[in-house]
A = this chain, B = another copy of it.
């Protein structure tokens, strides 16, 4: 084992800056935990002149960061540029090809090119580590790859995005409309100026795809995944859910049934007494159901420079200690090719909200459409709207096939008495 390893840090935004300063100040502590000194050889970023909270030591600055992948002395590259394409992609591919260990927080890159990158890392016997790419400070990847390595994981799910969870919690707790809650989140630094990937489900999808591949020993599947965000949830839905004993949460769920895997990201109604319903604010939580360990829950802070640095350092120590692992638990040659299914055949109990003109015979027509399509009603509430000319019909259905539910939605949408697109939110018993 080398007594010193040379590190190049590329990307000096919030995360990169925090990581660099942490590492600089904790070199000795990490040596006494790993028996190897983490030596910062280079730092680099797209621009030297960007305003930063700390002074960049000139002797560490590497002008062209692509060189980090080529310079012989560099052992480890920490990629904190971000983005699935462009500079990050080029740097990470070249680094692994040149037998450098790579540590990254880049979930978009790992979700898109993780399989190819893992193959190169395995061939070259170097580490490709990405604990920081999923759920900030929660050691979920290490737990799946090491702590739960004995297990057959059948289902992995949770609240994987702090921004959207903060907005939903805030709409509920502070009685805010979606836009108000988003503004508040932005003010507090919990949402970015362009928060679209946090809100449309893409961020959760990237994390879920990585977790699914790790959990099921499969390759990453980018195609078969349902992705719905939280943009259509309004205050009325939150109120309705409360009235019915539920909370609305954006969840990511990957489950394996008879070797068929379903991946989905969508808002869900969850019983208010359940554990998941109580995860509020920017917290993240991941639950793995597995054999023989049973149910394991990990909860913690999902974002921010501190928690992310905690994960980056855990990856770094794994590399320093010489703990070479297959990036996705299992050798590339043994990763499984499962069929990933869409949700058409999956049955759900759902919340339907149909805003209608308050006229005679409408309820009878709606229930007829449902009966014809084999969607049966478990509970129904009709609320008049404020002006009393319209009404909101809330239906909780029994379990029904996704395709049948979609048909009901399509038919109702085209009825003249329906005011706006009917809403469907799945109910999850988790």
Chain A residues at the B interface, C-beta cutoff of 8 Å:
18, 22, 26, 30, 32-33, 35, 131, 136-139, 142-143, 146-151, 275, 278, 290-301, 305-307, 309-314, 317-318, 321-326, 329-331, 333-334
Chain B's closest residue to A151 (CB) is B310
Taking a contact as CB atoms closer than 8 A, the residue among B137, B306, B323 that contacts A323 in the complex is B323
Chain B's closest residue to A23 (CB) is B150
Q: Are B300 and A300 within 8 A (Cβ)?
A: no
Contact (A298, B297) CB under 8 Å given A149-B33, A150-B313: yes
- Docked complex Cα distance between A323 and B320 (Å): 10
| 3 nearest A-B residue pairs (beta carbon) | A139-B147, A292-B306, A150-B313
Q: Are A150 and B334 within 8 A (Cβ)?
A: no
A-side interface mostly: mixed
* A142 surroundings in chain B (CB, below 8 A): 142-143, 146-147
Q: Are B309 and A300 within 8 A (Cβ)?
A: no
Q: Select the residue from A150, A307, A310, A325 with max chain B CB neighbours within 10 A.
A: A150
- Docked complex Cα distance between A296 and B309 (Å): 14
Taking a contact as CB atoms closer than 8 A, the residue among B22, B296, B324 that contacts A299 in the complex is B296
* A326 surroundings in chain B (CB, below 8 A): 33, 35
Taking a contact as CB atoms closer than 8 A, the residue among B293, B306, B317 that contacts A146 in the complex is B317
Q: Are A22 and B137 within 8 A (Cβ)?
A: no
* A331 surroundings in chain B (CB, below 8 A): 32-33, 35
List 23 A-B residue pairs with CB atoms under 8 Å apart, sorted by A's residue number: A22-B292, A32-B330, A32-B333, A33-B330, A33-B331, A137-B294, A142-B146, A142-B147, A143-B143, A143-B147, A146-B314, A146-B317, A148-B314, A150-B310, A292-B309, A293-B307, A294-B301, A295-B300, A296-B299, A297-B297, A297-B298, A297-B299, A321-B324
